[in-house]
Structure formats: structure tokens, C-alpha cells
Structure 1
Amino acid sequence: MFEALEAGDPRQVGRYRIVARLGAGGMGRVYLGRTPGGRAVAVKVVRSELAEDEEFRRRFAREVAAARRVNGAFTAGVVDADPAGSPAWLATVYVPGLSLGEAVAAHGPWPLEPVLALAAGLAEGLEVIHAAGVVHRDLKPSNVLLAADGPRVIDFGISLASEASVLTRTGVMPGTPGFMSPEQLTARPVGPACDVFALGAVLTFTATGAGPFGAGSVHAVNFRTVYEEPDLAALPAALRAVVARCLTKDPAERPSPAELLDQLAESAGGSRAVPVVLTEADWMPEAVARTVQLRTTTPSPESRPVLAGASDPQPQRDTPVPPRQIPAEQDHADAQPRKTSPETTPVVGPRAYAHSPRRVPEPSTAAATGPTGVSRRRALLGLAGAVTAGGLGVAGWYFVKGDGRKPRWTSANGGSNYGTPLVFGGAVYVSGREAFLYALDAATGRQRWKFSTVEDAEAPSSLAMSGGLVYACGGKRLYAVDMATGEQRWSFPTSEKVYSPAATDGLVYVSSDAYLYAVNAADGKQRWKFRTDATAFRAAPTVADGVVYVGRISDGMLCALDAGTGEQRWKSDVGIVSWAQPVVADGVVYCTTSSERLFAVDAASGKPKWDFASGRGGPVAVSGGVVYVSGGKLLYALDAATGSKRWVFPVGGALSAPAVADGVVYVATASDDKYLYAVAAASGEQRWRFPTHDAASTPVVANGLVYVSTFGRLYAVPV
């Protein structure tokens, strides 16, 4: 639930003893603190570079003074602060709850009655905030915490006292795209009505899982917010009229929070009162209530700090359980964690999705039983304000690069040439700079062995394994190396350069500049070969249910071959298949083409089902009925059945193949911004990002870690 304190973390802030980390945001880091009497508080410590900015200090002092005036049942108020301190800090009421954004991502959209209850609580919270002369200006799902006795509006970090002038910073726009009002986006005067507009967007997100102005680039969402009408067709009729008034372009026509409470009562069919009594967790959907109860009852660290690497007993830190998609029509009460088998195939790049729609952790890191939901640690990060909603962009005041997330370990031995790691049996196998192949301990990063070829071949870009052997391509040879010892078992020579192997059922399949070869895994003898004329083809073949799927350059066909004999079953004219590996899931083959389109093809017949203009034929992953495809600088989530767009997540560089694990999509950028991103699979909301400082490989998730390699370095980053 809590992160251990590290060397640079304070142990005392003001009168509060710091005992654990809660999270990080654009302004700084948030800690769990204890008063001398033992009361828990959330202490936000401002980053030193911001605190040294005199303009920021003036604004921060003003914001603290304004936030101190807010004290209501549905807010988490400021209890103490020192804007002039070194460092500057503020302490707020500690709410051990789940953020609204995480709740929707984990359990799906809410039914009407819980949405009405939420709306009433938030409206009353805004009523108190506005009565204190404060405008929040950044109401969004991640700034709403859910507790048994109602929601809490949190994080006044960019709130403004309504009578004060606006202080601005170059390039900083307070607010979050998709939840900002038109007047915020057009630099018109901003007042309490902007919070009512944001409330309408929050309610739409809660009831439908999407914002009222769609997804896409920040500019596109902002344009629709200012000039187009919201899409409210999916809202229940009883809620649609309420939300429509909130989202009116003219702030003068929006209801006040008091008027909104009256209208909500009419929609609920009662008098002006909260639709359900907010004293028990049953005001929320049952699955959400169970998760909130779990967060609330989990013990927090006592007054002694939790220290990284301490040898004495510490509170148990459980493995995060990120959200997974649950169909809207499914009874949330029936949502339980899926049981996993310890006997799994290895996790390696996008190939892991050819046989299973989700990744399975190794037995030692299986998630604890209990209500399915997001990481307990992430449930406490509402005060951090670093998560964006709906994948619509980075929240305002997000100055820091990354969010302070630190790798469990790094290794300078592995990680060259974009080599995608392979993780299995407590070891990480990866290509290297000084040796052809390395085996590292998955928990510590310590080297187990290294393997070099006689021919001094360049490092492989991807690996495969089967039967205790790891397979790698170097130059014009396919190598089989013992996974335990690093000794070569055999090598298979070809007359062309070979790339990207796949292995299953006693055969290894490898693409070359001219052929697809099938090689016996036991002795390296050729079983068959199929001509692909793949002078530009680099993707590994995909093997599923006794069929090999591979592209052929000569006639631009996607081919399905019998895995045992190499005989062609069908070919589909989708165009020249790109370098990205095809993916097979639920009887459908997904592949991208050089014409920058993604095709969904029936695996039995080869007939196209739908296609999508992905913009750059990038890699694909499939999980839970959703297709995730990297297209240039955009990560798309598409409905697997129809190809319709669910959300779009923009980044600052070309994307690697996505990896999906337990409701989170991990993707790395190979240029420009150079980050590893964690994105909520259901909503497209950014969870965190980690700077890789160089072009990165496809991420691989196992053991509660994300493994990603760059030129000369391999990172193991906590999920």
C-alpha cells in the first residue's frame, strides 16, 4: 500500500513525522505523515526547483490561504502548511480511498443510482468550495477520492481564490483537457461555473467510461470542447438533462451547485437530499465498495518510518493489482480475480499475445486474493495529481520529467539494439553490447552467464524459448543456447540473414531475407521452408493452434501455413505486411501493413473482418476484447469485434510494441521523449511514466516488474 522511504526523502516535515511514500505529482512528492498524537495526514512537499521560484512561492502561499477556508463533508481540506518553509509543504486530511478514475478503469462505468449519489456529493463539495471564495479549476476523476461516507474533492494545488488575479507560467495551462471549460481554454474570465462544467464531464466519464468530448490529441479535444456539442447519447435519460446544463458553453447558463442539487433530487425522484445515505459504502457499485473497504481497512505504517532495505520487520507491501476490463453489462458483484496457473509459456515481446489474451505473473508474484482493482498504492495518489483522465493529455502544472519512479535495478551488461527481453524461470535473457546474449537474475539484475558466437554476430533483436533452450538469430545463423548454463546446443546456418524466431511444439520458426524456415528444436535440422521473398520483412512469424502466420513480400499477402508441414492453408490480400509481428486472439489474426492500416482477418478463412487506419504500421497487442496498436506517436485502443476506437493516448515519440498485463498497457518510445509509459487499459489514463533516456525496446511484464532495454542498459521498473 505504501512505498518505502528512500535516501533523499525527509524524515520530518514541520511537526509531522514522515513514515512512507504515497506518490508523486507535478508539484512534488506526497508522503504519509503522522502527527505527534499519531493522526495520519498526507504531506505534499514541493519540489525544490519550484520552491525557489518566487512567482511560484507567491502563488502557492495564496493557494494555501484559499484552501484553508474550505472545510466541508465532501472535501479533503488543508490542515497545516508552511509556504515559506524549506522545503515548502502543505498537509491535508488523509483519505485512504480509491480515486474515481481508478474505480471506473477497474470496474467499468457506473449505473444510474450510484452516479446520482456521486453527483450529489460532488455538488455539495463544490457548494462549500465556492462559498469559501475558491474556484477549483481542475475537477477531474483523479481528483475525486471515494470513501464509504461519500466522495472527496481533493487537490487544490491549482485552485484559485476567485477574487485573486491569475498568475501564469509560460507554457503552463492549469487544468486537464477534456474536463476544462471553454472559458479556461479561450482565456476568458474564470469563475465557479467552470467547476460545474468539469462536474458534467466527470459525471459523463463515470456513467459511460469516456469523456463528453471524445478522445484524441489535446488540440482535438480542446477544439471540440469550445466549438462542438458534447456527445451525451450514452447517458441514461435521467442524467442527460442534468449533464447537458452543466456542459453549456455559456457559463452564465450553467446551474449553481445548489440548483444542481435540486435538479439531481428531481432526477432521483425525491426531495433535495443525497439520493442515498452516504454513510455506508453501498452508495457505490458493489465491486467498487469492496475495493474501497479493502483500502480503508489495510493497516497503515505506524510512526516509525518504512525504510528501503531495512532488515527489521516492515508492513507488508503487496503486489499492485492494476485494473482489468469488465464489460458494462457484467454484474460487478461477480467480478473476481482470474486464477492463474504456474505452468506458463515465457513472456517475450508481442508474441505472448498469440496464445493468451493476458500475461500471467510467475507464482511468487501472484496478486493477493480480494476485490479486483487497481494497485492499493495507486489508490492513495489522488493528492499527487499526476494522473490524466481519459488519455487526453498531461494535467496542468506537470513540470517534472517522469514521476519519481525508480527502477528496482538496472544492468549495464544487456540491452543493445532494441533487444526485447525474454523473462522466464526467474531469469531475464537479453542481447548485449559485449556479448551476443546474457542471462541475468530477474530479481537482482546480477549476471548468470553470457554467450558469444564464434562469428561475432550482431546482437539479436528478439528471442524465443522452448524445452529449456533460448533461440536467437545472429547474422546468417539461428542459435540454440541452454537456458541454465549458456552453452550452445546447436546452430542452424542459412544463406541469408535471419531474424526473429518463434518456438512451439518442438519446432523453431525463423524468418530470413528469402524464406521462413521450420527447424527441429532438438537438433537444429530443417523440417521445411516456405519462400516469402521477404527482402524487407523482419517480423517474427506467429504460431497459434497449429498454424503459422507470416507475410510474403512478393505478392503482398498474409499467409497461413500448416505448422507441421509448411503447406499453405490460405492467403489474404491485405497488402504488404509490416515489420510488426501478427497477433492471433479469439480466432482472429491482427496485422498491420505498409499502407499504415491494421487488418483483422478471420484465422480460419483469411477473410478480412475490418480494418483501421492506424497511421504507420505499428505493433499490436490484444487483451480482453481490445486491440492496442502503436501508430506513430499515438497508442490506439480499438474494439476487437468492430475496430471502433475506444481511446487514443498521445506520446512524444515513435512507439514500441505495446504490452498488456492485468489491465495496464505498457509502451515505450523509441525517439524524442524516450519514456516507458503505463496506461490504464480501460480508459487510456496515464498511470505513470519512467525516463529511459534512450530508444527503448518492447516492454515485458513479469514478477511485478516491467523489463525494458535500451542501448547499453536494461531496466527493471516496478509496475
Structure 2
Amino acid sequence: MWAGRAVFDILEPEDPRQVGRYRIVARIGAGGMGQVYLGRSPGGRPVALKVVRPELARDGEFRRRFAREVTAARRVNGAFTAGVVDADPEGSPAWLATVYVSGVSLGEAVSGHGPWAAGPVLALGAGLAEALEAIHAAGVVHRDLKPSNVLLASDGPRVIDFGISTASEASALTHTGMTIGTPGFMSPEQLTGGSIGPASDVFALGAVLAYTAAGVGPFGSGTPHALHFRAVYEQPDLGALPPGLREIVAACLAKEPDRRPTVADLLHRMAAPAGAEAAEATLSLTASDWMPDPVNRLVLARTATALPRAPGRIPDPAPPAAPTPTAPDVPAVPPGPTSDAVPAPPAPPGISSSPTAPAGADPATAGPRMDEAPTRTADHPAGGGIGRSEPAHEPADPEPLVHSYPAGTPPPMTRRGALLALTGTALAAGAVVAVWKTSDGGSGSVGSPSAVGSSARRPVRTTPPPHRNPGEQIWAFTSGGEVHTSATVANGMVYFGSNDQSVYAVDAATGKQRWAVPTGNVVYSTPAVANGVLYVGTADNGLWALDAATGKKRWTFHTESLVNSSPALAAGVLYIGCDDERLYAVDAETGKQRWNFRCKKDGMVDEAPVVVNGTVYFGSDDNSLYALDATTGKKRWAFTTGDSVDLRPVVAGGRVYASSDRLYAVDAATGKQHWALTGQKYKIPGAGYRHFGAPTVAGGVVYVGDEIQYVFALDAATGKKRWTFDTGNSVLSAPTVAGGVVYVGSDAKNLYALDAVSGKKRWAFPTDAEVQVSPRVSGGVVYVGSNDYKVYAIQT
């Protein structure tokens, strides 16, 4: 509930200064269960820490249920959810800590910028469905999914406040007199005392998608009594929704629970292509442009002020900054001690924003839809915190105490970081659950305090940016060696490694170097960045943690051989492979090993693992694809291939896709093969038992290159070919899919942009050497390295 809050307040005399091992530095707000604070772990990591009210803590039944809920919540670990950081249900008082998350609520985004077009709504729905799938798999039912419980991040949505109750214990919550659910989003069975289960969350999901597409919930507005009556007895008003989306939402809002689709069904329906619009809607949520542009910029605007680090100190307001050419990645951290400050660059090409809706205006009519092209850039709307700008019928979250600012002073923005492993924060009425959405170093969620003054907002006018055509170079940075790692875009910087034995941080807007750190050997590991820390494997037999702002080393984890694998970060744990035939799990904060798994002989782990639903999937040179328990490192299954699995797998739709002597699709739960394909299937010249590159799955389609010269689009369920594109040389680059376009490099010395539906070339950008790494797309810019020693920024 408290992720993304707009305002902190200094501590009161009666507030604790230490809870467990966490130092309390500021107030965030208060809720039905108790007071929520911003805390710091011994290592400085920010946490949202909730201290239970004394009268509840004295209730033995409450403590028992609280402990059960925390235990259940620890099992939730999916693409858009994660787990609890720490808790002491038996403490005096009882408390729970979560990783702090800054973000923008869906309610605030829609209220301030109007309803969304069908494509982004379907993309949102796919992410929320996957989050619910992970929650339900742990035996938990959300029971209060609503716009203010959905955080928007550049790499996908985050469901928060889950873990209220398991279905079998739903009635126990009423023992404390708490009301669970929100009028307009509650299912009929919740309102009539029926059995509450996963289908209840499906109903709420349908209501959330309807709200996002229309700007108002499917049962309109009014008193809670009126909304309850319509939800139980009347049909929803879905007239404003386009046909394809309307059918999905209507199915979710069926009155009888057994007539609603399952979450798995919804994932298939929202990810399956149904024309260009639907295909585009469900393409990779890890791309920065999955949201409408104005919302994307709003997310970025919450990244300008650091979190408080000591009690009694509230961050000073940050000056307003124009959007950067790499939005949504506004510079997150100040320059290093030896760097000069970098002025804010002009707005990126092709970025525009709809005017902010006036206070009290109907979001459905206050501004243009997100598929239109307004011409002004507006400041973020009133209601900078989660739950501030919801529809009139949804109760607002409790207001935090407000730190006021002089009249005319722009309110402080917050800093929101990029994340490679997937996270979020959850604090619920029956139990408070954390979603591990990390933010960059010192980033916070200080934003516009809606309670301090006028609802009028002055538009920010910027100089029109220079026009660039798709495929046009913005900048190129030259390192001292071939660039064999994909770039990571975060904190307004582009991070990558080079064969000149260095890791670089380059300004994403200008291409100017911020810092470079020598590693003593070539770098094949793509960095991961979270919580202001950069993690990268090195060929000097180690995993390094560097300060993302300065490059200063924080810690080193030593291995017995080269670390060419890229790290994967999930729930505060780094998973990384090594040439010593092991996969390691390392604490991201301390650098201490949690466990390691030994592969078979000659089983080097060269590429990044993938962590989904509490399982780590990775390939090895021992001709195996593995699935391990993320918590214990115990093997769940191993699938044998005909050759080494030395490229990263991808997990989507309940399947693991991995390249070896063939392209395999394997059941993610059991390791059983669904299908396997060789080049002979495609009846193309030279097709045989060739190696494929690393696959990418988006919208029910597998995009993959091969070592000969082709890029394929295959049906993810069957492997049936949809289209083939001939690049003229080997394709070792893993495709990246964003905005209906497939970006892929080739040994033909080109970066290609292909239409995701038809495979037709949109443009090709020439380099001076092979492009063998996966491109990265952020804020309308594609970043890619080449063997010509350069990293390029290219207009999408």
C-alpha cells in the first residue's frame, strides 16, 4: 500500500527509532493495522516497515493469523510479485518489513491522464493476470484488487496489497471487524457472503481493466450501496470498450464464479495475437514503452529526489527536469565525485503528453485517449501517491502527514529505478506482504502532496526536440574493445561491459561517459542494476557489486572460475552461473552465498538464469536445462538436450524455451517436452540441425535467430512457422520486441527493425562490425553494442 507514496513526514517523539534490525527514518502513513515507516536495513537498503497497532498485537488470534499470512506470502514469487523481506509476528510490537518501492498507481495515471487505448490495456491485463497466477499458486486470494493496488513501472505492472487471506480462511478476517474489498471492484460472492476464491480476483481484474479503458469502473459511480447492488444484480456498462477487450472483460465480470475464465485462460487470451493491435498489446512488458507516453513520463518524474537516510530530514524539493531523450530513464543519481554535473537534456523525439485533468474532472472526458497525439507536456497531477486520484466511489488510502512547501515551489519528484528481476510491494489488511520491486540507490517516493494546496498545475513547456527518423543514430560511444554484452538502461545511464576489460556507465541522453571501472579481464556479463547497485560477473573469478552512480566497488563474491553469466535478481537474491560448473545464489545486499548447485561434469553455466514463480531456470554445457527451487537450490527437474545449453532460456505461458541442437519448448512445472524443432522443419536453404540463438517470447510468438542467417517467428504453442526474415549472415543476437517491432542484430553488420506481425523490414542500421548482442529499448531509443567497439543509441 505504501509503495510510491508521495510524501514523507518526520518522526514524532512517540515513534520508534529502531524496529528489529531496521533503523526508522521517516513516517510514510497510517492504516487500519498500524503505522508505516520508511526504514533502513543495516546495509542501507530502504524498506517499508509496518508496526502493528498495540490493541491488535494483544489479540492472540490476530497474531496467529498474521503469522500464517506472512508464511503464505513468502511463497508468492512471480514475475510481478515477490516475497516478504522480514517479519516478527511474535515481537512486541508485531511488525513486518518489505522492500520499499516507488511507483505510480494505475488510479493516479488514469485519473490524471485519461483512459488508455486497447493495446496498453491488454498489456496491463497480461501482467496482472500473471501476478494473480503467482498469488493463487501460493494459496492466497487478493480480495482487494483495484486501481490503487496496481503500481506502474517501466518494466511492467506490480500488484500490491495481496495476501489478505487464503480462501479457506476468508471468514476469519471479519473477526477483527475489518472490511475487505472496495465498492465497484468487489465480486458478487464477496458481497453476498459466498465462497471467495481465485475467481473473485478475476472479477476484480475485469473491473480494473474496464476502468483503465473507460476512465470509470464498469458499475459507474455513486454510493457504496448503489455500487454493491449493480455488481450483484445489474450488467456492467462496457459500451466504451473496443470489441476485443470488451469480450475479455465481460467474461471476467460474469456473476457466477464458475463462468469466469481462469487466470491461465486470461493469459492465453490476452497474449494470443488477434490482429496488429492485440499483438502489440502483449509484447514484452520489459520494454519501456508498454504504457502510454504521458504515463511513462509520470513514472519517470518520480525519480528526482533521494529517500531520506536519517530521522528528521526530509529531502529538499528537486528542481523540475525536462524529459530526457531516454525517458523513462531520467538520470537517477548525481554524478560521481569526479564527474561534472550533466544538465537536463531536451525532451526526447516523438514524446508528448496530454494535459493534466483538472481536479474533479471525469477522467473519461478530461483529456484525449492515450492513442491520440496531444501536443503539450504537463506536470504530474495532484495526488502524487497511490490511491490519491481514484474514482469518487473508491475510498482513498489513509493520508500521510504532509510536509508543506512554499507557494509556487514545485513539489519534489521521486526517483524510480530500473529492475531486471521483477518486484513490487504489498501491505494488506489481514497481512502485510512485500513485493520485491527494487528502486535505485537512495531513490524515493517524495511527490506532489495533494493535501497542501491548489489543484491547478502549470504545464511544463519545453523546446521542441530535433526530429529524427526511425533508424537514425542519436549518438555512438566508443570503448576500447568489442562489446559482447547487452546494455542495461537504468538511472538515466547505459551500463555495459567491453572486451577492453572494463565496465562502463554512459549518459543515456548524450552518450558521454560517466565512469569506467577496470575488471582485469574481458566482460561478457550483462550488468543488472537495482537499488543503486550494479551487479556484474567478471572473468577474474567473481561477481562484483558496484555503486551505480560512481562505479565504486561495494563487495566481491569470489568463485572458482570465470563468471561469464549475467546475473538475475529476484527477491533480493542474485542468481549467477560460473565456469566452475555451478549456479550460485548470492545475497544482493551483503554478497554472501546462500547456496550453490553443482551441474554434471563439464557443466559450465555461461548464460543468465531466469527466475519465475520461485523457480530458477538455466542451461548448462552438460547438455541439460535445469529447474531449481529458488529458495533452497534443490533440483526440481532436469531436461536433457542433444548439445550444450549455453544461451539463456525464456519462460512464458507455462513453458520454458531453450536453444541447443534444437529449439525446445518444455513444460515449466514438469520438464516434459512440448515440442522441439530443427531447421529441417522450415524447408529453407541450408536448414538442418543447426544451433538457434537465444529466443524471445512475446504475444504468443517465439522470435529467434539461427547460426545461418535467419530470424524466425514461431507459434509459441506449436512451433509452427509464421514468418522468416533473411539477414544474410548469422543471427546470434537475441531479439527484443517492443511496440510491435522486433529489433535484432546480425553478423551482416546491421541492426534490423522488423514488423512483429509480418516480419517485413522497417529499417536497418549499419555498423562497422557484427552485432551479436540483444538490443535494449527504452523511451523510444534502442541501445545496442557491436564488435566495432561501439554502443549505439538509435531512434526507434
Q: TM-score range by the shorter chain?
A: 0.3 to 0.5
TM-score (norm 1): 0.47
Which structure has greater strand proportion?
1
Q: Which has the larger radius of gyration?
A: 1
